[in-house]
Amino acid sequence: GAERVHYDAEFDVRDLISLTEVMDEYDLGPNGAQILAADLLAAQAGDVADQLHTLSGEMMIVDTPGQVELFAFREASNHLIETLGREQSAIIYLFDPMLSRSPSGFVSQMLLSSIVE
C-alpha cells in the first residue's frame, strides 16, 4: 500500500487498517494482505460510512487501490458501495496513459473498464 499520498485526505483508511500489521498478523505477503485488508474494511463498512457521512462537501472522491482486481472483482467492494449508497455513486476508471500508447494496451484497458462497469 501507499505510505504517502500527494493530497490531503479528510478520511484515510490507513488510520483503520495497517497493511504492515495485516501482513505480520496473518503471515501474508503484500498482495494477500491487500486482499484481506479490503475484506477487513468491508467488515467495518457501516463505521466507515458513518465517518464519511460526517464530512463536509457535496461530493466525495474515494481513491481505491490501483490494482483493479482488488476492488473490481471482490464482493468487499460491492458491499462498500452498497453501504455508502449505490444510487449516489459513480465509478471512474482511469487508464494508464503509458499502457494506452499501444493498440494492444489500449484494448486491454478498454476490456478491463468494461468488466469494472
pTM for this predicted structure: 0.76
- For 94, which DSSP code? P
Residue 19 CB partners (closer than 8 Å, separation 6+): 1, 30, 33, 34, 37
Average pLDDT rounded to a whole number, residues 89-106: 87
Q: What is the mean pLDDT of the chain?
A: 85
* Banded pLDDT at 95 (limits 50, 70, 90): confident
Give the residue with greater pLDDT, 27 vs 13: 27
Q: Taking every pair of C-alpha atoms in the chain, what is the biggest distance, in angstroms?
A: 44
Closest CA to 45 of 10, 79, 86: 79
Q: What is the tens place of the pLDDT at every residue in 39-70?
A: 999 999 999 889 888 888 888 887 777 677 77
Look at residue 76 and tell me whether its pLDDT is greater than 90: no
Spatial separation of the C-alpha atoms in residues 45 and 39, rounded to whole Å? 10
> What per-residue confidence (pLDDT) applies to 73?
79
Spatial separation of the C-alpha atoms in residues 42 and 34, rounded to whole Å? 12
> What per-residue confidence (pLDDT) applies to 14?
84
Sign of CA dihedral 45, 48, 50, 53: negative
E-strand ranges in 58-104 read none
